[in-house]
Amino acid sequence: MPEANPIDSSIQRRIFAGFTVAFAVLVVIATLSYFVFQKLIETNQLVKHTYKMLNELEATFSLVKSAETGQRGYLLTANIEYLKPYDLAVDSLPQQLARVKELTEDNLVQQSRLSLLEKHIANKLDDLKGTIQVRKNQGLAATQEIVVFGKGKTSMDAIRQLISDMQNEERDLLKHRETDVSTFLSRTVSLLVVGGLMQLVLFLGIYYLIKRDMAARQRAKQVLEEALAYTQTILETVREPLLVLDKDLRVKTANRSFFETFVVSKAKTERALLYELGDGQWNIPALRRLLEEIIPTHTEVRDFEVDTEFPHLGRRTMLLNARILYRPGNNTEMILLAIDDITERKKAEEALRARSIELEAINKELEAFSYSVSHDLRAPIRHIDGFVDLLQRHAASALDEKGVRYLKTISQSAKKMGRLIDDLLVFSRMGRSELYKTSVDLDQLVKEVLQDLLPDLQGRHIAWSVGALPVVWGDASMLRQAFVNLIANAVKYTRTRPEAVIEIGRGTGNDGEAVMFVRDNGVGFDMQYAHKLFGVFQRLHSVSDFEGTGIGLANVRRIIHRHGGRTWAEGTVNGGATFYFTLPVTEEAL
């Protein structure tokens, strides 16, 4: 699963949160509104109730009044017509009072008033009834007395008062309720307004977030497109053939190098099954195994070798790298195959190996050769010398001076040949044998060499000057040989000097190398022939002047070269000579 764009998920979360809050607010608003409506309905009911009550009370009062009026009319006129409203009122009053009673069910105070009212009304009615009877029976004058002195008016007043009280009570109640409701309403309305505003803000916020989200997606898409273009350019420029396969091993894309290398067309390659490509050149069991079994478990395989016959190309060895790719955008798995034709490289490696083996064999031959030389050549030489010697003793008397000289020459030549062979063997060993490299303290080495040469220095006056020499990395015995040769030479070629001066020291060199020299004040040499100095068996002096085979410096050069150094010399005829050489130094010495 590709990682979600972090911007995406935080925006999405915020949008979700926003919607949740908005929804919650909506629910709250709805609930509040419900309560508000309930309250309004309730209040409405109460108002209706109150007005109903007021009406009924008014109606009650009006009935009583109507009864009174009727009674009065009758009293005045004795017209029964006036009794109609009275009768009606009297008839209606119980029901009327009952209605009022119904309406006061919830109010104890009103109920007690009502009972009082009922009582007064009853009294009043009785009173009216009485007076009517009196009028009926005794005439007008009799009634006047009752009316003037009767309780009629007090009852009426009481009734009026009670009704007024009850009405006021209702009105008060109403007023209270109205205040309650209005406070409730104002609070609720403000809440609702706030809620509404919040909703508005929330929705604006959500809208803004959604816009941001979309912008982010747009940007991501653009980045992706640019990245794709970028990768595509890389793919096309890469020299290695590349293949992108989908999970079913069909080719999704191949780069230009692939088409060119395997000589296939784009049309034939894309969407084709890998194993069908180019006459099934990829239908190799090992490759099938790789792709179908190994890749799902390992997601990457490197350096998988495939050796097969390719049309247009012939038999080739290919090195494959395969890797699972996740293609951005549609979350599918793909396989990237990188192909490297290593046929040439393998051939070169083979050739190298063969050459190595050849060289090995040649080396072995050389070893055998020098072994044979060391044994087989020496023996006859020894015999020559030996038998010449025996001859000399045996036939000394039979030989004249010339004869003796001839024999001596033969003997000397044989000896010389022996020396030459020995020198050559040493020289060849210097070139053949393995360097056993260690840290070599040249100070110590030179001291030992001088010690060893002591016997040869008997009777010589030599002024030695040995400077501080570094520690180098090399073969100790070979380096010893080099110093022996150089110092022995110095000793030899200063033989003509009464006071020889031999200097061994270190010069200044480049980083990582030490320059050393052996200087003497001997017979020196002509710089014209300096290039011959280090040659094999090359000498610049005759054997009669200075003995030697001319192998010493050649050995020195060989040894130093094997250590990665250089050799050179400076000298003047009869003015001494200096022999320089360089050696790589160890870090400790620096």
Spell out a b/e string for 55-86, using b for 16 or more CB atoms within 10 Å of the CB, else e: ebbebbbebbebbbebbbbbbeeeeeebbebb
Is the alpha carbon torsion for 258, 262, 264, 268 positive or negative? Answer: negative
Given the complex with another protein, which of 8 and 389 has the nearer CB atom?
A: 389
Q: In whole angstroms, how close is the CB of 486 to another protein at the nearest point? A: 23
Q: In whole angstroms, how close is the CB of 391 to another protein at the nearest point? A: 11
**The pairing of beta strand 251-254 with beta strand 437-441:** unpaired
Q: In whole angstroms, how close is the CB of 375 to another protein at the nearest point? A: 5
Q: Does 415 help bind another protein (rule: CB under 8 A)?
A: yes
State which of residues 388, 446, 504, 583 lies at the interface with another protein (CB under 8 A): 388
Q: Which residues, numbered 540-579, are part of the site for another protein (CB under 8 A)? A: none
Given the complex with another protein, which of 24 and 368 has the nearer CB atom?
A: 368
Q: In whole angstroms, how close is the CB of 403 to another protein at the nearest point? A: 18
Rg over CA atoms, the chain: 68
Contacts with another protein: how many residues (CB under 8 A)?
23
Q: In whole angstroms, how close is the CB of 367 to another protein at the nearest point? A: 9
Give the C-alpha separation, 553 to 534, whole Å: 5
Q: In whole angstroms, how close is the CB of 429 to another protein at the nearest point? A: 8
In 3D space, the residue among 370, 367, 581 whose CA is nearest the CA of residue 474 turns out to be: 581
H or E element in which residue 248 lies: none
Given the complex with another protein, which of 415 and 561 has the nearer CB atom?
A: 415
In 3D space, the residue among 383, 559, 354 whose CA is nearest the CA of residue 472 turns out to be: 559
Q: In whole angstroms, how close is the CB of 380 to another protein at the nearest point? A: 8
Given the complex with another protein, which of 203 and 371 has the nearer CB atom?
A: 371
Q: Is residue 339 a contact partner of residue 240, using CB atoms and an 8 Å limit?
A: yes
Given the complex with another protein, which of 272 and 425 has the nearer CB atom?
A: 425
Given the complex with another protein, which of 418 and 584 has the nearer CB atom?
A: 418
Q: Report in angstroms the alpha-carbon separations of 484 from 110, 433, 446, 447, 535.
A: 145, 19, 8, 11, 18
Report the Cα 483 to chain-centroid distance in Å: 60
Q: In whole angstroms, how close is the CB of 385 to another protein at the nearest point? A: 4
Q: Please give the single-letter amino acid code of residue 540.
A: L
Given the complex with another protein, which of 19 and 387 has the nearer CB atom?
A: 387
Given the complex with another protein, which of 147 and 426 has the nearer CB atom?
A: 426
Residues, the chain: 590
State which of residues 56, 118, 169, 385 lies at the interface with another protein (CB under 8 A): 385
Q: Which residues contact 48 (CB under 8 A, 6 or more apart)?
A: none
| Contact characters 422-441, another protein, x per CB under 8 A | ---x----------------
Q: Which residues, numbered 354-383, are part of the site for another protein (CB under 8 A)? A: 370-371, 374-376, 378-379, 381-383
Structure tokens at 247: 């999970």
Q: In whole angstroms, how close is the CB of 359 to another protein at the nearest point? A: 20
Q: Does 418 help bind another protein (rule: CB under 8 A)?
A: yes
Q: Is residue 47 a contact partner of residue 174, using CB atoms and an 8 Å limit?
A: yes
Given the complex with another protein, which of 207 and 369 has the nearer CB atom?
A: 369
State which of residues 27, 390, 457, 463 lies at the interface with another protein (CB under 8 A): 390
Spell out a b/e string for 450-483, using b for 16 or more CB atoms within 10 Å of the CB, else e: beeeeeeeeeeebeeeeeebbbbbbbbebbbbbb
**Residue 565: exposed, middle, or buried by beta-carbon count in 10 A (0-12, 13-18, 19+)?**
buried
Q: In whole angstroms, how close is the CB of 560 to another protein at the nearest point? A: 22
Q: Which residues contact 112 (CB under 8 A, 6 or more apart)?
A: none
Given the complex with another protein, which of 207 and 436 has the nearer CB atom?
A: 436
Given the complex with another protein, which of 269 and 411 has the nearer CB atom?
A: 411
CA-based max dimension of the chain? 225
Given the complex with another protein, which of 374 and 586 has the nearer CB atom?
A: 374
Q: In whole angstroms, how close is the CB of 460 to another protein at the nearest point? A: 25
Work out the end-to-end distance of the chain between its first and last CA atoms, rounded to an integer number of angstroms. Answer: 58
| Contact characters 394-413, another protein, x per CB under 8 A | -----------------x--
The three-state (H, E, C) secondary structure of 552-576, written as one string? HHHHHHHHHHHCCCCEEEEECCCCC
Q: In whole angstroms, how close is the CB of 357 to another protein at the nearest point? A: 22
Q: Does 108 help bind another protein (rule: CB under 8 A)?
A: no
Chain residues in the site for another protein (CB under 8 A): 370-371, 374-376, 378-379, 381-383, 385-390, 411, 414-415, 417-419, 425
